[in-house]
Amino acid sequence: MKDQKQAAKPNQKDSPDDPPAPMSSPLDRFLARRILLVVTGGIAAYKAAELARLITKSGGLVRVAMTEAATRFITPLTFTSLTGQAVVTDLWDRVNADDNVIHVAWSQWAEIMITCPATANFIAKLAHGLADDFASCTSLAFQGPRLVAPAMNTGMYLNPATKSNLEILTKRGYRVLESPEGLLACGTIGAGRMAEVPMIAWEAARLLSPSLLKGRRVVVTGGATREPWDDIRFLSNRSSGLMGSALASAAWLLGAEVTLIAGLSATVPNTLPEGLNVQRVETCDDLLTAVAQALDGAWALVMNAAPADFKPIERIKGKIRKSGQQAPALTLTRTPDILKTLSPQKGQTIMVGFAAEDGEDLKSKARDKLNAKNLDYIAANRAGGQGDVFESDSISLTLMSSGGSEIDVGPYPKFQAAWELWHLLASGYGKIS
């Protein structure tokens, strides 16, 4: 097949209506997006202010609709100040003199509606189509993706009426967030707390993303393994795990079911979405076991981890002491090559390796690895020296396919590079037909 050499387009759009692809962070999904935030009357309303601020800071336009009860907990002025946008509390309010049916206008303006916090009463209204104030009228009129963050007392939350109302919403396509257990404002410890603000933001960002990978399960590995020498010391490498986390979160935003298998030392931000299945592993052998278990039925395996290639031949129990000893000899043995071991059983799973290379011939070394490990793709990038990928926030890579195609991606922030990679894989880039 003829070699194709192209560069991925920066700021690739997902559809003509979609703003540019995210740049450095998942929260960039909010850039220039129109969000209708419906705040109803519970103590968690103060957290809605934090959400409004977070989205606004990320470039989103947030209009807030409040119920009368919500205004008892937090003032409309708080939201106007945070968002720089109008806040409507009354069905008969007019933001501009020529506003007529403002609840309809707002429902048509918004790209997503977030009800946060959603009280038991408001959930019941949503489920049964009641519309007797501005917040419920505009909610009923809204036709786009809807996210609901319930918050209430445990008894109200567990009441079969509320449960059934939440089920109705889920069946109708609302994304209803779990209300985790915790200490509630009423003093009870139990379910009914509102989901944390960063989780609500993640879910909203997912609803604003194209569902490119919906229905697909992907496995991503990231970070370095640790190969213990004794109980204190280990061999490892400089892989930070940032690209693994970026790949996992980008896939999740694009609708995939994601397993992230990360080395213990990998930087896995604690704000990753809860929907992501994160497994931590220590050694290359553990990584092999975890990947082998996760692989079955996966649409893609993206092997971004940097497993150690060698390990001490034996793990010493306790701590090797230096007193009275000469420096001990450290004998190493090879660890298993995970991709090579698993590629014969990959079936339909797309297998993607990463090749961090130093020195000359980066691409030919990467292609040799693609062939030796029988991969569908390899992403070649530079390790060491100028453009070093390790511990960096950005990456420049060339995606090479088994069919002989090549495409440059970046230099981009790692999150954006991950976003582009998933688009390329989903498009079947460079596949031999």
Q: Indicate the residue among 65 and 291 with the shorter CB distance to ligand CTP.
A: 291
Q: Among residue numbers 76 through 105, which ones bind ligand CTP (CB under 6 A)?
A: none
Binding mask 368-407 for ligand CTP (x = CB under 6 A): -x--------------------------------------
Residue from 110, 118, 303, 397 in contact with ligand CTP (CB under 6 A): 303
Q: d(Cα 175, Cα 354) in Å, to the nearest integer?
A: 35
Burial of 431 (0-12, 13-18, 19+ CB in 10 A): middle
- Report, in Å, the least distance between residue 338 CB and ligand CTP: 3
Strands (E), 251-322: 257-263, 277-281, 300-303, 310-312
Give which of 258, 202, 273, 244 is closest to 27, Cα–Cα.
Answer: 202
Residue for token digits 């959930």?
123
Say whether residue 294 binds ligand CTP (CB under 6 A). no
- In the three-class reduction of DSSP (H, G, I as helix; E, B as strand; rest coil), residue 123 is classed as helix
Cβ partners under 8 Å of residue 120, min gap 6: 150, 152, 156, 157, 159, 162, 165
> Does residue 91 contact residue 36 with C-beta atoms inside 8 Å?
no
- Report, in Å, the least distance between residue 231 CB and ligand CTP: 23
| Cis amide bond preceding 269, omega within 30 | no
> Does residue 103 contact residue 193 with C-beta atoms inside 8 Å?
no
Q: Indicate the residue among 183 and 292 with the shorter CB distance to ligand CTP.
A: 292
Q: Is 284 annotated as catalytic?
A: no
Binding mask 328-367 for ligand CTP (x = CB under 6 A): -------x-xxx-------------xxxx-----------
Q: Indicate the residue among 152 and 303 with the shorter CB distance to ligand CTP.
A: 303
- Report, in Å, the least distance between residue 315 CB and ligand CTP: 18
Say whether residue 212 binds ligand CTP (CB under 6 A). no
Say whether residue 305 binds ligand CTP (CB under 6 A). yes
- In the three-class reduction of DSSP (H, G, I as helix; E, B as strand; rest coil), residue 244 is classed as helix
Q: Indicate the residue among 328 and 359 with the shorter CB distance to ligand CTP.
A: 359
Q: Indicate the residue among 107 and 239 with the shorter CB distance to ligand CTP.
A: 239
> Does residue 64 contact residue 53 with C-beta atoms inside 8 Å?
no
Candidates 6-14, 32-40, 187-195, 298-306; binding stretch for ligand CTP (CB under 6 A): 298-306
Q: d(Cα 93, Cα 276) in Å, to the nearest integer?
A: 42
Number of helices followed by number of strands (H, E) in the chain: 14, 21
> Which positions touch ligand CTP (CB under 6 A)?
284, 303, 305-307, 309, 335, 337-339, 353-356, 369
Which sequence positions are flagged as catalytic? Answer: 186
